[in-house]
Structure 1
Amino acid sequence: MHKIKRDDMVKIISGKDKGKTGKVLKVDTKKNRVIVEGCNMITKHTKPSMANQNGGIINIEGTIDISNVMLVVDGQATRVGFEVKDGKKVRVAKKTGKAID
């Protein structure tokens, strides 16, 4: 079980986009990286294909190391812990002690 999941709101705590918040679009558990909506934008040169007839230069989100993002609960960034409640392992916000899911 990981501390950050898809569709979580996260805050970037280091790098060129420090301070920005966004929704997690994808989590790569093998490489410990996440893609955050609207953050770490990179330019990619694409060849013409059936999906994109013209090709050209497009802007897409790049991956960010999972250690550089923090989960946002109730508008404030917090660390994440785990507790067993009713026989289920749940994520808990360290700042408030509130169960996340």
Structure 2
Amino acid sequence: MIWEVFRQEQAGEYHTHCGNVHAPDREMAKQFAAVQHGRRKPTNSLWVVPRDEVGEITGDDVAFGGTTDKSYRWATTYRTTGADASEVVESESEQADAEQGRGDD
């Protein structure tokens, strides 16, 4: 049986998928996961889940992020004819960083 392993580096952070292990039961899977995935990097906890129990939702199943245009919420949407206020310049930089981060996921 294949078990998927999710690792949390520090308390309060998200668990991220780090691989899988092959084991006949849950206890062996937890032991294998600890040896294979818990000792290489700092680890706070591991989740070990049967592969058959992991559900997937794709973009074909549902429209992620909605379809409503809410660009008015972003400072980068608005342009002025005069000099930009310092808050707008800082916000544009933050929004650009956020958009670039979302593109990496």
TM-score, normalised to structure 2's length? 0.26
Bigger strand fraction: 1
Where is the helix percentage greater, Structure 1 or Structure 2?
Answer: 2
- Compute the TM-score of the two structures, normalised by the length of structure 1: 0.27
| Larger-Rg structure | 2
